[in-house]
Amino acid sequence: MPPRLERDADGLWLSPKGKRKPAPKKDAVPSAPVIEACHVDGCGTPASGPRPAPGMVRVPGSKDGAAAHWYCPGRCAAIARARTDLRNVGGRR
């Protein structure tokens, strides 16, 4: 079984050997996600419903069955697309 990346309790990535890169001590909250959560109303809602707000972008789900979602245009849609691409690539094997 290939080594897998894992996170420790603080959400930091552990290398397969269990070593841990020292994280730069900034004022980031340890449990905060790497990507700042979007608080725009309707962003990230399943696209089974109507467009939650004008200009929202529908990002299709990945091939492994993830549902399509609405995202606000720009950063959120780009991140969602990238995530979907990664899932598609990962599921190709």
Q: Which residues contact Zn ion (rule: CB under 5 A)? A: 38, 40, 43, 72, 76
Q: Tell the smallest beta-carbon distance from residue 81 to Zn ion (Å).
A: 13
Nearer to Zn ion by C-beta: 9 or 37?
Answer: 37
- Taking the complex as a whole, the smallest distance from the CB of residue 64 to Zn ion amounts, in Å, to 23
Instruction: Give the tokens for residue 54.
Output: 């004008």
Measured over the CA atoms of residue 38, residue 41, residue 42 and residue 45, the dihedral's sign is positive
Cα separation values, 87 from 26, 27, 65, 82, 83, Å: 30, 31, 10, 9, 6
Q: How far apart are the C-alpha atoms of 83 and 71, rounded to whole Å?
A: 13
Nearer to Zn ion, 62 or 80 (CB): 80
Closer to Zn ion at the Cβ: 23 or 40? 40
Cβ closest to Zn ion, residue 14 vs residue 81: 81
CB of 42 to Zn ion, least distance (A): 8
Rounded to the nearest whole angstrom, what is the least distance from the CB of residue 72 to Zn ion in the complex?
Answer: 4
Measured CA angle at 15 (ends 11, 18), to 5 deg: 90
